[in-house]
């Protein structure tokens, strides 16, 4: 029987409805809305689309949005100065610097400069460290969104074999930490993994986060597995595709995310969730 589709748009809409309700509570009595500052450096077309989408979603859920667009040749010191001002601004709850940054910018220094309690992307070493120590604060958006999707399928995590393919700082690694926190037995595969097929074949929960179309062959997928495809690549004919061979994998999996319409909408929804959470934590102090 073909797999059931995990509808990321529908689950994201549920998350955004909860965010909207939280914003209404936070703004009761004329209090200011939670506010997200976004910083876009340069004119990369994909980054422009992502940032526009984030800014638009802020409007839809009632989150205040402050937009900062800097030229591609901006100096590191100027970018840090802006982040410093946003760190200090009482009316800013979350700061997002759209990645990737131009090569002359030190991305690690930029991420570490953002105040951890305003780091709504969840990339700051403090927030990743909290997740590693099972005391999560602001969680990296895409992995947190994947956990929401898995919960939506009724997935149980305890003792399940989960395999994450991809080990980047922002996606694969925190994904593995989320699954470990949830109680799964986690394997992380990367460029140097020997026999990727053997690991994939064992996975009851498979999460692909590489960015190589069709890297995961459909006939590797374990019968009845839940397959989450985070990868997004644009093909020559302009279509978007994931890392997993979708058609063949669908014949074996129990649940599978489409690309697009799977994980993508969840990332933005979790960013909104994190902005509200950051505001709630700051206002509770
Ligand atoms: P990345 O920084 O390029 O990391 C890719 C990872 O894949 C690296 O850990 C790399 O291993 C690993 N890898 C490369 N070739 C491999 C192979 N043959 N076998 C196993 N692992 C291999 O990319 P990223 O930022 O993590 O993003 C991954 C994908 O997710 C991209 O397509 C991106 O567009 C997509 N993405 C989607 C969303 C969304 O909202 N849906 C959000 C973020 C990212 P090494 O560590 O050894 O180099």
For the chain of 285 residues, list the mean pLDDT of each consecutive stretch of 10.
95 98 97 98 95 98 98 98 98 98 98 98 98 98 98 95 98 98 98 98 98 98 98 96 98 98 98 98 91
Summarize pLDDT for 239-259 with one digit per residue, the tens. 999 999 999 999 999 999 999
* Global confidence as pTM: 0.97
- Ligand 1, CB cutoff 6 Å, lining residues: 142, 165-168, 170-172, 189-193, 196, 209-212, 215, 230-233, 263-264, 267
Considering the chain, what is the average pLDDT of its residues?
Answer: 97
Which residue has the least CA distance to atom 3 on ligand 1?
210
For atom 5 of ligand 1, the residue with the nearest CA is 210
pLDDT at 99: 97
What is each CA distance from 10 to 6, 64, 202, 241, in whole angstroms? 9, 24, 29, 20
């Amino acid at each position: 029987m073909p797999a059931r589709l995990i509808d990321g748009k529908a689950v994201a809409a549920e998350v955004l409805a909860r965010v909207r309700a939280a914003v209404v509570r936070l703004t009761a009595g004329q209090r200011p809305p939670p506010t997200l500052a976004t910083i876009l450096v340069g004119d990369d077309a994909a980054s422009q689309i992502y940032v526009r989408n984030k800014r638009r979603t802020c409007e839809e859920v009632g989150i205040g949005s402050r937009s900062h667009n800097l030229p591609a040749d901006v100096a590191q010191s100027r970018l840090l100065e802006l982040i410093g001002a946003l760190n200090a601004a009482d009316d800013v709850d979350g700061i997002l610097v759209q990645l990737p940054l131009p090569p002359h910018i030190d991305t690690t220094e930029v991420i570490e400069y953002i105040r951890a309690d305003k780091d709504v992307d969840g990339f700051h070493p403090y927030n990743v460290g909290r997740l590693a120590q099972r005391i999560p604060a602001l969680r990296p958006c895409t992995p947190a969104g994947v956990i929401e999707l898995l919960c939506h399928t009724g997935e149980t995590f305890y003792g399940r074999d989960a395999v994450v393919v991809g080990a980047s700082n922002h996606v694969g690694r925190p994904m593995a930490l989320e699954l470990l926190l949830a109680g799964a037995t986690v394997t992380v595969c990367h460029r140097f993994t020997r026999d990727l097929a053997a690991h994939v074949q064992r996975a009851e929960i498979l999460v692909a986060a590489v960015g190589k179309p069709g890297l995961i062959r459909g006939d590797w997928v374990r019968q009845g597995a839940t397959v989450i495809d985070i990868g997004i690549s644009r093909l020559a004919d302009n279509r978007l595709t994931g890392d997993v061979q979708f058609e063949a994998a669908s014949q074996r999996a129990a649940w599978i995310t489409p690309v697009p319409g799977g994980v993508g909408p969840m990332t933005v929804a979790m960013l909104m969730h994190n902005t509200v959470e950051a505001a709630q934590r700051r206002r509770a102090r």
